């Protein structure tokens, strides 16, 4: 069982926007700003997209943005492109030097 | 930055395996390092982390007492000693570099090494 809850799948058409939610608790997402997001294409290693809730990793386009409200973090992807089709994982520090991942969300471009 | 894991393979339940991760392109001794695993068709699971100097080590509950993370900064290498392996440990094991000592950000990842525990 994953520490953080993500929707199994989301979809959108090219040019549209989608938001992926990541729900934790007051002991992880709600208590720390160490929330990050990772993109994983099939057969590839994950890639850091967002860290510290809303900071973009280097060379990540500004179409990707992160936010947090209470115990829920969100990743928004605007201007969807075909290459955005991938699995996305959220991650949060959970105290006591422990880290938890969400179960992952499959983004499908229609 | 480059991270390359090695040491994976097929092992019987109850046996041991040692993974390694060679880092290059950055000052290895100044960053925390992690192991993360992904079971076939499943999501990501954090396994262990180690501080830049190797003195502080932390483990997921699922592996504590069986796995040991270590590093050799003179050789820019990270290790994961896995003992008393079970079929539930079957996964692709990634090493990852933090953004600092303990920033809890998996900044760069290796391609992974596959561990299969099977009789």
**Closest by alpha carbon to A41, among A29, A52, A33, A49?**
A49
Q: Does A60 touch chain B (CB under 8 A)?
A: no
- Percentage of chain A beyond pLDDT 70 is 98
> Which residues lie below 8 Å from residue A33, measured CB to CB, with a gap of 6+?
A52, A53, A68
Helices (H) and strands (E) in chain B, counts: 0, 11
How deeply is A86 buried, as exposed, middle or buried, from its count of CB atoms within 10 A (0-12, 13-18, 19+)? buried
State residue A2's pLDDT score.
57
Assess contact for B34 and A100: CB atoms under 8 A. Answer: no
Mean pLDDT of A73-78: 98
Please determine, for residue A81, whether its predicted confidence score (pLDDT) is greater than 60. yes
The band of A3, judged by pLDDT with boundaries at 50, 70 and 90, is confident
CB-CB neighbors (< 8 A) of B33 in chain A:
none
| Cα B29 to Cα B60: distance, rounded to the nearest angstrom | 23
What is the residue whose two structure tokens read 């996305």? Answer: A88
Please answer yes or no on whether B46 and A104 come within 8 Å at the CB atom. Answer: no
User: Which chain B residues are Cβ-neighbours of A57 within 8 angstroms?
Assistant: 107
**pLDDT < 50: residue spans in chain B:** none
Interface test with B, best of A45, A53, A91 (most B CBs within 10 A): A45
Predicted pLDDT of residue A97: 93
CA-closest candidate to residue A91, choices A33, A9, A7, A18: A33
Q: Which of A36, A89, A93 shows the shortest C-beta gap to B43?
A: A89
Angle at A61 between CA A82 and CA A57, to 5 degrees: 120
Chain A residue with minimum CA distance to B45: A101
- Sorted by sequence, the CB contacts under 8 Å of residue B61 that are 6+ apart come out as none
Residue A82 pLDDT grade (very low, low, confident, very high; cuts 50, 70, 90): very high
A38 touches chain B (CB under 8 A): yes
Q: Say how far apart CA B100 and CA B46 lie, in whole Å.
A: 17
What would the pLDDT profile of A15-30 be if each residue is shown by its tens digit? 999 999 999 999 999 9
- B88: phi then psi, degrees, rounded to nearest 5: -70, -10
A46 vs B44, B49, B102: nearest CB: B44
């Amino acid at each position: 069982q994953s520490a953080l809850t993500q929707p199994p799948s989301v979809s959108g058409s090219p040019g549209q926007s989608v938001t992926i939610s990541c729900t934790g608790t007051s002991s992880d997402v709600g208590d720390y700003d160490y929330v990050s997001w990772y993109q994983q294409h099939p057969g590839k290693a994950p890639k850091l997209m967002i860290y510290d809730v809303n900071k973009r990793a280097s060379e990540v386009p500004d179409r990707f943005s992160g936010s947090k409200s209470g115990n829920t973090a969100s990743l928004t992807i605007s201007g969807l492109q075909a290459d955005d089709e991938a699995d996305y994982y959220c991650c949060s520090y959970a105290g006591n030097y422990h880290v938890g991942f969400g179960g992952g969300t499959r983004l499908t471009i229609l | 930055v480059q991270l390359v894991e090695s040491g994976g393979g097929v092992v019987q339940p109850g046996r041991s395996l040692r993974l390694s991760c060679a880092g290059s392109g950055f000052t290895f001794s100044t960053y925390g390092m992690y192991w993360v695993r992904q079971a076939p068709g499943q999501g990501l699971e954090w396994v262990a982390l180690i501080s830049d100097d190797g003195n502080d080590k932390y483990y997921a509950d699922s592996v504590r007492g069986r796995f040991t993370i270590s590093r050799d900064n003179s050789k820019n290498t990270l290790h994961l000693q896995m003992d008393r392996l079970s079929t539930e440990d079957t996964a692709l094991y990634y090493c990852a570099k933090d953004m600092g000592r303990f920033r809890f950000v998996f900044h760069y990842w290796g391609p992974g090494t596959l561990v299969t525990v099977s009789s």
